[in-house]
Amino acid sequence: MRVGFGSLTCQRGPGDARPDGERYRESLVLAADAERLGFDSVWLSEHHFFADGYTPSVLVQAAAIAARTTSITIGTGVLLAPLHNPVRLAEDAATVQLLAQGRLILGIGQGWRQPEFDGLGVPYAGRHSRLAQIVGVLRAAWSEGQVTPKPEPSPAIWIGGMSEPAVRRAARLGDGYLASWSSLEEFRERVRWARAESPDVAVAIVLPTFAWDGDYRRHIEAPLSYYAHCFGRASGLPETLVAGSPDEVAEQMLAYERAAGGALSYTAEFCWPGLDRGVLAEAMTIFAERVLPLVRRHTSTVRGRGTNDASSR
């Protein structure tokens, strides 16, 4: 199992009066901390027109993280591909890949918030088919023609999706399928859809995750409820939360790997807006020192197509 830390969204949580620049610079520090603590990857996410300052420019942020780190994989989970000019996206992603010396995973999705499309003057209808076209442009631009630079190797493309058609499309077009906030049973079913379409596709999941000794709810209920509310989810702790003691969290993570039918890339998402920064630092340390060794003892790392261990096809 490869384990990531996320998501570095740079949002302003309730009561956070810090200027935008401070939060953006903090994301670079957190990425460096994640590398130092032994996380395999760090994850970023794109959204537009959020009142709390959700980062809209993940590849710029990724380039800055690449300059502050040396070994950690940098993933976008996800970049909203239909909002981008595909040739410019190919150029920018290739540039980050070169600066990061091959450490980029380009996670993309079709998007679902119509105000983002309206605000950027992009048609909301047809985004599904445009996603497929964009993947084709990316692969061609990175391997042939006049578009420069050429990445070495090409970034792996992971694609998000929740419905059966979206999951099957992700597995067919991408090097990896990226699930998010799914129950164990939902994830098992989505893996089945993905593997039916492409047996060797890499499988990944992003889940709200928190390892703590004692009562964790008092630390996370408000910030996690706020974060969930940003995406139209019900207030309170989500049913997909993986939380408890380090031993309990490790066992829940291993259950997801078993549901994946093999190696899994798991992003522990607990960098929520409004979470006390002292609590976050302690939670990162607890996770690194007491959860990571447990899951690594019982699993293998992700290898092959769709990871930064091998170039995309």
CA 140 vs. chain centroid, Å, equals 24
Q: Tell me, what's the pLDDT at 262? A: 86
Prediction pTM value = 0.94
Domain spanning 2-298, CATH class: alpha beta
The single-letter DSSP state of residue 104 is E
Round to whole Å and give the CA distance between 113 and 200: 31
Bridge partners, residue 268, by sequence: 5, 207
Residues 6+ positions from 234 with CB-CB distance below 8 Å: 228
CA distance 31 to 58: 13
Going by C-alpha positions, the residue among 81, 179, 174, 173 that lies closest to residue 127 is 81
Domain ranges of the chain: 2-298
What is the three-class DSSP state of 184? helix
At 31 the pLDDT is 99
Report the pLDDT value the prediction gives residue 111, as an integer from 0 to 100.
Answer: 96
The pLDDT value recorded for residue 312 is 37
Give the Cα separation of 161 and 170 in Å (integer): 7
Q: What is the pLDDT of residues 152-200, one digit of tens each?
A: 999 999 999 999 999 999 999 999 999 999 999 999 999 999 999 999 9
CA distances from 290 to 3, 40, 87, 270 (A): 13, 15, 43, 16
The stretches in the chain having pLDDT less than 70 are 234-235, 300-313
pLDDT of residue 229: 81
pLDDT for the residue numbered 231:
77
Q: What is the predicted pLDDT for the residue at 235?
A: 67
